[in-house]
Structure 1
Amino acid sequence: MLGGTGILLGVAAGPAQAAEVSYATRCVPPPASGLGPVDGTTKVEITAPATAKVGEEVEVVWKFLRAASKNPDLIDLPANSVQPSGTLKAAGAQTAAVAMQGPRENPAIPKGGDMVLSDMKGELKLTAPGQVTLTPDAYDINVMSTDTKCAPTGAVQPGATITVTAGDGTATPTPTPTPTSTSSPSESPDPTGTPGTPSASASESGGSGGSGGSDTGGTGGGGGQTDFTGKEVQVPYACKTPIGDKSATSPVQIDAKKNGGSFDLTVRFGASVMDSPADIPKGSVKPSMEVVLGGADKGTVHVEGPVNDEDIKSGQPIEIPDLTGTYKPGASGKSTLSPGVLTVKALGTTTTCTPTKSEASLTLDTTEQAGGASGGSGGSGGSGTSGGSGGSSTSGGLAATGAEDDGTLKALGLVAGTAVLLGGAVFAFMPGRRMR
């Protein structure tokens, strides 16, 4: 048995060899990021068998010693959110493009930190005797849902060479370069670029923004009724994101429950679901809104949702939870409640979305309470800004802060059924009834 094993090992692939190679690289982020190309130097180590024979399928390993760019100074990338893939060129005795891919495994990468990419592996079936060279080529860096594409800008030296023997154990040499570790003469320190930015396309569950004039949604508050259901309104948002102004439309509904002289409010978002493109740690997402009062009352009411209390695994649905708060009326009469400024804090970033039009979701019969809203801050910590006139399709005092295109916001993660870009990562915060 031992003798037979020795014979088998003798004709199998030989010991592995590893060689380093550096080459000038240009990385191009997705167009939606608004960021330009990044020029840098990629340094890798290619590992492959030194010898093998025709018919064998050998494994090749591509290890990143340095990526061409760093994580931009926008957002911390969570662990296991980055995945590399690329192509290794085989030449000489045979020509082939070897597909390489690494697992989505990385430590947390801080803003401005060096990119840490997992080892990529691929397999090559040997078909002819002679020398086969292996040269690293283009590669992609996928961050949560979209790719930044990196490609050589000049000649690249082979990273490894396999001597392939025929079935009788003889080799037919092929005149090809030997592995050489070189550095591009234009090599420069790692610039701060982007390893990849979010890119996702979402179909909105609603239509265009509110156009109702006298329609003020659900009405209640009088008699013995205690629960009041608002109508779902389409809210066109202009969003201030970490990388610029964006716009989108989201369906929103405001419900109320009478509690003494006050009302407990619940703001719900249209039910749409999108899977998370990567792991999102618990306690990293916090949504809130300022509900705008109109009609008899004036001011705003602050409502907010809980942070996600569990990790959200890649592939699991993400939903915006219900936002809740308390409205204490500051005036008697018919008071309207309209969706106002939406804020989402996630992983150290803040995105603020302001309606470009206002439409009331709910109208209540209110009775003035001591210390109530009228003209000031309402409920549990409003902002004290002046409210608009409920039911109007005009701005109602909510200033537009960006483009007024209410179409689908592409290349962005979703927040409140719309979209928001969070720097180098995309998080699909889709509206729904509960945060998972």
Structure 2
Amino acid sequence: MLGGAGLLLVASPAQAAEVAYQTECVPPAISNLPPVEGTTKVEITAPAEAKVGDEVEITWKFVQAASKNPDVLDLDANTVQPTGTLKAAGAQTGDIAMSGPRENPKIPKNSPMQLSTMKGKVKLTTAGDVTLTPDKYNINVSKPISTDTKCTPKETVKPGATIKVSGGGSGSGGAIGGLPTTAPTGLPTGLPTALPTGGGTTGGTAGGSDSGGAAGSGGGGGDGQTDFKGKEVSIPYACKTPIGDKNATSPVQIDAKKDGGNYALTVQFKKSVMDSPADIPADSVKPSMEVKLGGADKGTVHVEGPTNKEPIKTGDPMTIPDLTGTYKPGADGKSTLSPGVLTVKALGTTTTCTPTRTEVSLEIDTTAVEGGASGSGSGSAGGSAGGSDSTSGGLAETGASNDGALRALGLVAGTVILLGGAVFTFLPKARRVVRR
């Protein structure tokens, strides 16, 4: 980005000065982590003297970043890139865009950030003293997804270097040349609260007992009915994540279609519309659920959806297909179906959310079939994300329907919280500031 454009001049020996300033770093919105304050120490190097018309190179070396890599994820080598803004003032004013290469050693969790040295260029247009003061900077982490942490000075910063410019320039307020002067923007702010945002790594069983009003489309069996529409129920989820416990409520509906003695189930999440908070790679997110059986029948039924076929760009609507699976009744009588444990697998991580209270969405008259559910016990909520993961007793034979998408299901955003992390948080002895 920096090489090859014009002649870089160092008309006199370079000067290097260290400057320290209090900084507030704001993690990406999807991390759900608060801002943190710490001390940034940088060393600015620039020529001590130059002439009007010279294009000079300036370097910004990080002596100390404002905080650590939090206790969430190890950062791989060559995944962290800093960019920033250097303020020119005095005889010539403007913003100088600074950028460093994506070069870093592996950075373990809860260890100091190691940022590459940034460089930028400026063409000098006016005679006089030009001061160079470090300002805001941005840290981008490219894997497992792209996230940005924005750091801004919280006090007046002293200049890090001064260039004495001589020559035929006149007037004040020359334009800064060289690199673009706008720093990269971060991720969109705001997350939906209508769906679990996070999760742990182990499965569980649906908590609480069936409750609430009458289930949708009761009956079936002897009257020839084949399609059964469930009612929409609001399910409170409790999720455990590496960055703390999360709680949210999501509207869910369970529908069934009778096929012989079995029922094809479709589980939909309702009213959770949002745009993608980050770039989501194709085939990286796969949701599943253990539908809880009650009434005459016992056990769970595994349902799941296919992974996202296409990448989802930041700000684009997200589309998640319905969760589907096959229910084989194990008892005669009225059986109920309620939302159970929710699992999302994404980019090597597992997010598991357990209802604190579940509610019947659908009640149907069932007739036991061979290998049916009753008495077989509940299946595993944390099964394999791929293939047809069966619960014990042969409960689940998952379908592969790509129909009935829920746009912008917050599952993706919840999983991203585990993946993106915040680059600058949890600095020991630093004051954590929570924005209201």
State the TM-score, normalized to the length of structure 2: 0.63
Counterpart-to-counterpart distance in 2, 1:108 and 1:226: 60
Q: Give the structure 1 partner of residue 176 of structure 2.
A: none
The amino acid that maps onto 1:217 is G
Q: Does 1:244 align with 2:244?
A: yes
Counterpart-to-counterpart distance in 2, 1:244 and 1:372: 38
Change (3 A) 1:365 1:139: same
Which runs of structure 2 are paired with 1:229-240 in the superposition (5 Å)?
229-240=229-240
Aligned partners of 1:24 and 1:153 also within 8 Å = no
The amino acid that maps onto 1:415 is G
Q: Give the structure 2 partner of residue 98 of structure 1.
A: 95
The amino acid that maps onto 1:214 is G
Q: Give the structure 2 partner of residue 381 of structure 1.
A: 390
Bigger mean CA offset, 324-333 vs 83-92? 83-92
- Kindly state the Cα deviation for residue 381 of structure 1 after the two structures are TM-superposed: 2.7
Aligned partners of 1:277 and 1:426 also within 8 Å = no
Per-residue CA deviation, residues 96-124 of structure 1 (Å, 9 max, x unaligned), is: 46264759978997754955679576878
Counterpart-to-counterpart distance in 2, 1:221 and 1:417: 36
Change (3 A) 1:257 1:66: farther
Which runs of structure 2 are paired with 1:217-232 in the superposition (5 Å)?
217-222=216-221, 223-232=223-232
Q: Does 1:255 align with 2:249?
A: no
The amino acid that maps onto 1:221 is G
Which runs of structure 2 are paired with 1:322-361 in the superposition (5 Å)?
322-361=322-361
Q: Does 1:15 align with 2:15?
A: no
Change (3 A) 1:45 1:129: closer
Structure 1 residues without counterparts, runs of 5 or longer: 1-11, 170-195, 385-412, 428-436
Counterpart-to-counterpart distance in 2, 1:423 and 1:21: 39
Structure 2 residues without counterparts, runs of 5 or longer: 1-5, 172-184, 196-208, 380-387, 394-407, 423-436
Aligned partners of 2:136 and 2:150 also within 8 Å = no
Q: Give the structure 2 partner of residue 299 of structure 1.
A: 299
Q: Does 1:202 align with 2:191?
A: yes
Per-residue CA deviation, residues 314-339 of structure 1 (Å, 9 max, x unaligned), is: 34322332212221111111111111
Counterpart-to-counterpart distance in 1, 2:361 and 2:100: 47
Aligned partners of 2:292 and 2:299 also within 8 Å = yes
Change (3 A) 1:202 1:73: closer
Bigger mean CA offset, 287-296 vs 216-225? 216-225
Residue 365 of structure 1 aligns to a residue whose secondary structure is: strand
The amino acid that maps onto 1:259 is D
Change (3 A) 1:274 1:294: same
The amino acid that maps onto 2:9 is P
Q: 1:422 aligns with which of 392, 417, 420?
A: 417
Aligned partners of 1:293 and 1:338 also within 8 Å = yes
Counterpart-to-counterpart distance in 1, 2:284 and 2:105: 14
Aligned partners of 1:277 and 1:315 also within 8 Å = yes
Per-residue CA deviation, residues 35-58 of structure 1 (Å, 9 max, x unaligned), is: 7847576556667896453xx797
Q: Does 1:166 align with 2:175?
A: no
- Kindly state the Cα deviation for residue 139 of structure 1 after the two structures are TM-superposed: 2.2
Counterpart-to-counterpart distance in 1, 2:170 and 2:247: 68
Aligned partners of 1:230 and 1:255 also within 8 Å = yes
- Kindly state the Cα deviation for residue 367 of structure 1 after the two structures are TM-superposed: 0.7
Change (3 A) 1:236 1:78: farther
Which runs of structure 2 are paired with 1:35-434 in the superposition (5 Å)?
37=36, 39=38, 42-43=41-42, 51=50, 53=52, 68=65, 69=67, 71-75=69-73, 86-94=84-92, 96=93, 98=95, 100=97, 112=109, 126=125, 128-141=126-139, 147-149=149-151, 151=153, 158-159=160-161, 161=163, 163-167=165-169, 200-203=189-192, 213-222=212-221, 223-270=223-270, 272-375=272-375, 376-377=377-378, 381-382=390-391, 415-416=410-411, 419=414, 422-423=417-418, 425=420
Residue 311 of structure 1 aligns to a residue whose secondary structure is: coil
Aligned partners of 2:91 and 2:129 also within 8 Å = yes
- Kindly state the Cα deviation for residue 369 of structure 1 after the two structures are TM-superposed: 1.7
Aligned partners of 1:233 and 1:252 also within 8 Å = yes
The amino acid that maps onto 2:136 is A
Change (3 A) 1:276 1:416: closer
Aligned partners of 1:263 and 1:326 also within 8 Å = yes
- Kindly state the Cα deviation for residue 258 of structure 1 after the two structures are TM-superposed: 1.8
Counterpart-to-counterpart distance in 2, 1:220 and 1:121: 72
Q: Give the structure 2 partner of residue 409 of structure 1.
A: none
The amino acid that maps onto 1:141 is I
- Kindly state the Cα deviation for residue 221 of structure 1 after the two structures are TM-superposed: 3.4
Change (3 A) 1:135 1:331: same
Change (3 A) 1:353 1:284: same
Change (3 A) 1:131 1:373: same
State the TM-score, normalized to the length of structure 1: 0.63
